[in-house]
Amino acid sequence: MPTATQGIYPPAPCTAVVDAEHPSRGYAVFKDRAGRYQYLVLPLARITGIESPKLLRPDAPNYLADAWLARMYTEAALGRPVPREDIALVVNSAHGRSQNQLHIHVDCVKPSVREALQHALPHLTRTWNMLPMRLPDAHGRRYIARWVEGKRLTINPFAALAGHLGDKDQMQWHSLVVAGARRVDGTPGFILLSTRAEADATPENHKNNGNSDNLHDRSCAIARPDPKK
């Protein structure tokens, strides 16, 4: 991001740069090469990934809250507002990501994933628990999940997950998903999800490598008026 901190606009190759004068908390929005509607949010600061202790500091920027606001770029690409239930943010595990710089995927969820989460929603609380069903991704992986109430993301999901894992596990093995949601009574909020990579996962054996981007639908069919287009 050579122009990201220089105040040059347009900040190519980025779509946007926010708070460039404060790299310790600023971030860039970048159009992902995958799909027409997926964007990435990347901190300007050097942060390796989900396992970075920097994300757990009390004064850490809430990059996932920033990424939720950045869904407007997906909406702009679609040319229409998108219901919160149709959007999810994904951070992959250290073993399932493509680069060692924190990047948050912003895109539409698969219709089948949204349906599964709507069925699970009445059972979710503010405590992490295993989902009763496997999510309909490419491999039917198991996820833990919890509910977060609010129109905006006011908690730090990285800290929420790390607090649940405690000393029994390590963040590097986990993905983190923030899916927009709305309860039956109309209360807006988010579903936090995480799946754990298997130590012996390889591309050949198709075991869980902690990549959750397959919950996304890069065609964004759920939000398009004519899915055939």
CA angle 55, 56, 62 (to 5 degrees): 55
The number of folded domains in the chain is 1
Q: What is the pTM of this model?
A: 0.91
What's the confidence (pLDDT) of residue 5? 47
8 A C-beta contact, residue 38 and residue 216: yes
Query: pLDDT band at 20, cuts 50/70/90?
Result: confident
Whether the predicted pLDDT of 4 surpasses 70: no
Bridge partners (DSSP) listed for residue 206: none
Residue 134 lies in domain: 16-223
Q: How far apart are CA 173 and CA 144, in angstroms?
A: 13
Q: Please tell me which residue, 6 or 71, carries the higher pLDDT value.
A: 71
Whether the predicted pLDDT of 133 surpasses 70: yes
Domain membership flag for residue 191: yes
pLDDT, tens digit, for every residue of 45-94? 999 999 999 999 999 999 999 999 999 999 999 999 999 999 999 999 99
What's the confidence (pLDDT) of residue 1? 45
Domain membership flag for residue 228: no
Domain membership flag for residue 146: yes
- β-strand 176-182 against 87-91: which pairing, if any? antiparallel
**Residue appearing with tokens 């999510």:** 135
What's the confidence (pLDDT) of residue 205? 60
CATH number at residue 123: 3.30.428.30
What's the confidence (pLDDT) of residue 96? 87
Q: How far apart are CA 28 and CA 67, in angstroms?
A: 10
Average the pLDDT over 199-217 and give the result. 80
Token readout for 214 is 């397959």
